[in-house]
Amino acid sequence: MSIHGSFITSRRAVLAASLFVGVWTAGGIAMAAGAQLTLSGANEVPAVTTSAKGSGTITVGDDKSVSGSVTTSGINATMAHIHEAPAGKNGPVIIPLEKKGDSEWAVPANAKLNDAQYKSYKDGNLYVNVHSDAHKGGELRDQIKP
């Protein structure tokens, strides 16, 4: 095959893939990227000195649906939530997370944000924090980045 023929074939493949993605997303199947979380005591307000750690993914869809989970280590966690507030501030709980085993916390099925909470998410003003008996206000935290 000539260079010209390869170029046309490659261009057709890219066009076909683009068309497929365009039709797929226009058809109501919107893909949302998950926010990767790295929870630490340093992110708490006020900051907490701890060797505990956490990580996870929270995904917010275009339809305002929320899914995902966080996993912790080095902490005897008592509860975990998604809160509404910017970095450096504390805010109210908007979604309590469910405990799944010793160290995993998951967003409950069918969780959704309201319009104001979705705007806060888009503005970077939602966070996950994990509480413990040692730090009742929260031991681990990270902002959910859209």
Query: Tens digits of per-residue pLDDT, 6-53?
Result: 434 443 433 333 333 333 333 444 456 789 999 999 999 999 999 999
Q: Does domain 35-144 have CATH number 2.60.40?
A: yes
The domain spans of the chain are: 35-144
Which strands, in side-by-side order, build the sheet including 126-132?
A: 93-96, 77-84, 126-132, 140-143
* Prediction pTM value: 0.78
| pLDDT given for residue 25 in this prediction | 36
Residue 54 burial (C-beta neighbours within 10 Å; 0-12, 13-18, 19+): buried
CB < 8 Å & 24+ apart, contacts of 21-27: none
Compute the mean pLDDT over every residue in the chain, rounded to the nearest whole number. Answer: 84
